[in-house]
Amino acid sequence: MPCSGEAALGTYHFNTNTIDHLFCRTCGIESFARGSDGKGNPMVMININCLEDAPPIDRSTIKHWDGANI
């Protein structure tokens, strides 16, 4: 089974079950997630490591968020 296409995706939920975490059923990587933030606004989170030719990231600018300490 190839690592591409919607048919290759599986979904899992944890904690509040409000975010669809989508992963490849073949290799297991979570490529992206979708759902809504605490205010109900739709959002999508992308695993940048899954993008081809992704630009380098200045990791010093990343804001870490654990969901508990807003």
Residue 70 lies in a domain: no
Structurally, the chain folds into a number of domains equal to 1
Distance CA 61, CA 39 (A): 25
Query: What's residue 31's pLDDT?
Result: 86
Q: How many CB atoms lie within 10 A of CB 53?
A: 4
Distance CA 44, CA 34 (A): 4
pLDDT digits (tens, 9 = 90+) for 16-33: 788 899 998 888 888 889
Which domain range does residue 40 map to? Answer: 6-52
Residue 48 lies in a domain: yes
* Backbone torsion region of residue 50, taken as left when φ is above 0, otherwise alpha when ψ lies between -120 and 50, otherwise beta: alpha
Q: Give the CATH number, domain containing residue 31.
A: 2.170.150.70
Residue 59 lies in a domain: no
Residue 28 lies in a domain: yes
* pTM given for the model: 0.61
HEC letters along 22-34: EEECCCCCEEEEE
